[in-house]
Structure 1
Amino acid sequence: MAAFRAVYNFLWGDLVTLPLPGGGSVGLSLLVLLLIPAGVYFTVRTRFLPVRLFPEMLRITLEKKEKSRHDSISGLQALIVSTATRGGMGNLVGVVAAISAGGAGAVFWMWVTALLGSSTAFAEATLAQLYKEPDPLYGGYRGGPAYYIHAFFTRKTGRKKSLVAVLFAISGLICWGGISQVISNSVSDAFYNAFSIPPLYTTVVLVAVAAVIVLRKNATVRVLDVVVPIMAGLYFLITIVIIVLNAGLLPEVFRCIFSEAFGLRQAAAGTFGAVLMNGVKRGLFSNEAGSGSAPCAAAAADIDHPAKEGLLQAFGVFIDTIVICTCTAMIMLLAPAEVTEGLSGMGLLQAAMGHHLGTFGVVFIASVLWLFCFSTFIGILFYARPNVAYLLGDNWASQTAYKILALVMLFIGGLAAYTFVWDLGDVGIGLMTIFNMIVLIPMGKEALTALREYEKQRKQ
């Protein structure tokens, strides 16, 4: 436990503390020190891709699917898989936690982090496309950071495995196993609060439905094609309804967001560091850009140019943070302070929804949480496929064994109180980010070259 906690603190704790005017300070974790400079680097090198090429991202997302290999998925389907895993608990309770700790100004820094993260997401997704390979088990393609890390370290040595790639794959499997427990516990808690359903019943249904899907060969993408658009669409529409009902409060909400993001009051009170870092950390945690998760889906896409998938995944960061996380922020910030005072986490969000829409709001948020968490579980097992194959070879035994392990952890998480095993998710994604970032900057030149080629083709 002591060793595990030391690793956790090394990854997520304040590695560097900078003093601020007014007596406050801002703590920078190792992952912030890795991901923010990388985001700035790729944003500059791509000539501000998130803004400059946003119309192109929309065009690619809406274009008609091109013909693809048998059993392969399209670029849009890969975007749906990555959106399923990005759009989990972090978009709901995580945003509430960021605003509770850092105030409304944290929302602004989430937006800034998303813009920078879009460029990083482009680079890693494009690399995943460049180094994808045929998948003999599931059909179509597979790949991800383990595969381009392998290529980077074995070009000269010719070895069959790369230690860094192996460590990335192991970290990913640890992360996704830990997330499985958090998912089911969050769902069982929400359903108990909304419907008084005992956690055992909720968990059994969740595990049974998940098992039917993940233990079949290729049901994952077909299910997510239906669930994710419905999930995100309903959440967005309900938020629009709430905004319309509270339109008179919008100017004050945006005033709070921008004034607290740069506010002299926060700086003088020594709380500016909390505003800044809670927004930055939540943005990084939510969109996962740089962690190497989404490239596991991006590599599976059968698309006519690697940069197109990179642009789709950059758009995925926009959907996650600018759209879905902002929806949660608006639901919370448009509710009176006395309604949410003293509450935290899911209870706070349910109270805000109850204020806006009554009992329907409480029921709705519990149902949407179920969809968010369910789709996240299906998506992370899609991510696990290429990493299990990289570690253990192409065989159904190892693929099925990991799925069963994840289902067991999903069941345990729905019934158990908090355990340190849950922190495996945070430790796993932290380690994944470190191993991914080792090669992302030096290999990023290939992604930038692919972008230039693509833009040249589009002009022609």
Structure 2
Amino acid sequence: MDLSAINDQLISITGVIDDFMYTYILVILLVFVGIYYTIRTKAVQIRYIKDMFTQLTEKRHVNGQRSISSFQAMMVSTASRVGTGNIAGVATAIATGGPGAVFWMWLMCIVGAASAFVESTLAQIFKVKFKDGEFRGGPAYYIQQGLGQRWLGIVFAIALILCFAFGFNGLQTFNMTSSLEYYIPDYAANGVALGVGIVVCVFVAFVIFGGAKRISIITSIIVPIMAFAYIALSLWTVFANVGELPAVFAVVFQSAFDFQSVAGGFAGSVVMLGIKRGLFSNEAGMGSAPNAAATASVSHPVKQGLVQSLSVYIDTLVICTASALMVLIFYVQNGDAAAGLNGMALVQMAVNNSVGEVGIHFMTFAIFAFAFSSLIGNYFYAESNFLYITKNRYALFAFRVLCLLFILYGAVNSFDLAWNLADIFMGFMAIINLVVILLLGKWALAALDDYTKQRKAGKDPVFLASNVPGLPEVQCWKEEELQDIGPKPIQEYIDEALDPDFSPLH
């Protein structure tokens, strides 16, 4: 059996499916839904930027039990969003589609933040409370409660599992191992990739089988620290090369509007690559972040919708832009040296160009930290949806083992196949969710109207299901559940993160 020929055939088949899905279905849906809800919400993602920050400090205690705060829910979703897509994905978009892909990533981020607001608000409205007092929810839940179609909820849950547990997590380990190419040029052939995959699987298994109660440390502390360090490196690069910025932005906008190139092949164009890599990075409209948004205990669904919109901005406008600027400065200064480089290799050489070899070592560490946090965040999404389908503990054990095998497979996968599979699974899942939020979005808009009225009256908005006429039966948001809420000190976040008995992932 010629494994190389089989791999080439798989790349070809998945490439055709990938191109068709994005060119003729997904791009149209993404743009339409984002613009539609930007108009219907009167640009809520811009109007309420201040509220996005103020709602982060809200903490609610339900029936005397501790529950997940807005901040922690955002950190879980950010842990999944902020992964190798922010580093290797941006570099891939620039190398394959051109520098203009960055502009289309920015644009889709702002438009997509409206979709992210709607899906996360819906997740809050239709969330359910488990016996342990914690909340769960997401598209599968709002499909079942809002549309009354459990079968479609199961289809979405399967699509999400394929996307995150098998597609994205395989890609995360692929990018981890590919970051070693600088140190070990033949890493893929001499067993190093397999060894790294095994080690990563052991650490992930330690977490998902319940051996690490302090997983909230990863999402609430390590992710922000790594993100700030990464942004600091980018700022150093920008300030050290500030004279190159006019050329950088010139090449971005020149490439972004090169419509002659777009007409020559839209599937591989700068617009398409920007949208695909932007969606992979910030996940706006995909239906992933609502799984984390639903776990937060807040007084009004809109509060978490705003917080999740902020997470989209952090992901793309801050962290992806940090990656893009480092790569583009290298691109402008060393056009010939950048040619032929892609993914992590391109990012590492860009950092080396700015701060020397120490930057390469930092990037290698960053990619492992970001990828590992994404593996955990992605698994959290997948398990939540698996439990929606069945709660059989034997089936759950088999599912966890299968997830680990796909993580291992990702370490030895090929570049093109890894991206194609992730794109296909992501696209299938996003199509279902985008259609659903178009059907159910009126309830998110009604909640936004309620929030706006209370804000104008000078109140801290509190949501009651009975205040929205015609709203389908929901489990939460009943009057008897309302309790006093208030901001909490930052020290409480730290105490929760260090508490061995409390974690948003268990």
TM-score bin (small chain): 0.7 to 0.9
Q: How many equivalent residue pairs?
A: 437
Q: Distance in 2 between matches of 1:418 and 1:261?
A: 25
- Partner SS, residue 422 of structure 2: helix
Q: Distance in 2 between matches of 1:36 and 1:190?
A: 33
Say if 2:61 and 2:67, in contact at 8 Å, map to a contact too: no
Aligned to 2:197: 203
Q: Distance in 2 between matches of 1:270 and 1:243?
A: 33
1:179 aligns with 2:179: no
| Runs (4+) off by over 6 Å | 1-8
Q: 1:402-417 counterparts in 2 under 5 A?
A: 402-417=399-414
Q: Distance in 2 between matches of 1:208 and 1:123?
A: 37
CA displacement at 1:108 relative to structure 2:
1.4
Say if 1:171 and 1:428, in contact at 8 Å, map to a contact too: yes
Q: 1:104-123 counterparts in 2 under 5 A?
A: 104-123=99-118
- Partner SS, residue 334 of structure 1: helix
Q: Distance in 2 between matches of 1:275 and 1:423?
A: 17
1:193 aligns with 2:188: no
Q: Distance in 2 between matches of 1:378 and 1:42?
A: 31
Q: 1:16-31 counterparts in 2 under 5 A?
A: 28-31=23-26
Say if 2:138 and 2:294, in contact at 8 Å, map to a contact too: yes
Q: 1:275-294 counterparts in 2 under 5 A?
A: 275-294=270-289
Aligned to 2:387: 389
1:170 aligns with 2:170: no
Aligned to 1:360: 358
Aligned to 2:469: none
Say if 1:146 and 1:166, in contact at 8 Å, map to a contact too: yes
- Partner SS, residue 210 of structure 2: coil
Say if 1:192 and 1:199, in contact at 8 Å, map to a contact too: no
Aligned to 1:242: 237
- After superposition, the Cα gap between the structure-2 partners of 1:94 and 1:3, relative to the gap in structure 1 and judged at 3 Å, is closer
1:83 aligns with 2:71: no
Aligned to 1:444: 441
Aligned to 1:309: 304
- TM-score with structure 1 setting the length: 0.87
Say if 1:91 and 1:328, in contact at 8 Å, map to a contact too: yes
Say if 2:193 and 2:412, in contact at 8 Å, map to a contact too: yes
Say if 1:75 and 1:303, in contact at 8 Å, map to a contact too: yes
Say if 1:194 and 1:363, in contact at 8 Å, map to a contact too: no
Larger mean Cα displacement after TM superposition, 268-277 or 38-47 = 268-277
- After superposition, the Cα gap between the structure-2 partners of 1:301 and 1:251, relative to the gap in structure 1 and judged at 3 Å, is same
- TM-score with structure 2 setting the length: 0.80
1:54 aligns with 2:49: yes
CA displacement at 1:339 relative to structure 2:
3.0
CA displacement at 1:171 relative to structure 2:
1.0
Residue identity in the other structure for 2:168: I
Q: Distance in 2 between matches of 1:35 and 1:303?
A: 28
Aligned to 1:19: none
Alignment root-mean-square deviation, CA: 2.6
CA displacement at 1:259 relative to structure 2:
3.4
Structure 1: runs of 5+ lacking an equivalent: 16-26, 155-160
Larger mean Cα displacement after TM superposition, 271-280 or 46-55 = 271-280
CA displacement at 1:166 relative to structure 2:
0.9
Say if 1:354 and 1:362, in contact at 8 Å, map to a contact too: yes
Aligned to 1:147: 141
Say if 2:174 and 2:418, in contact at 8 Å, map to a contact too: no
Once the two structures are superposed, what CA deviation does each residue of 1:257-312 show, in whole Å capped at 9, x if it has no partner? 2333335xx54895695232222222222211111111111111111110000001
Residue identity in the other structure for 2:99: A
Residue identity in the other structure for 1:182: L
Q: 1:224-235 counterparts in 2 under 5 A?
A: 224-235=219-230
CA displacement at 1:9 relative to structure 2:
3.8
- After superposition, the Cα gap between the structure-2 partners of 1:276 and 1:421, relative to the gap in structure 1 and judged at 3 Å, is closer
Say if 1:388 and 1:398, in contact at 8 Å, map to a contact too: no
Say if 1:13 and 1:30, in contact at 8 Å, map to a contact too: no
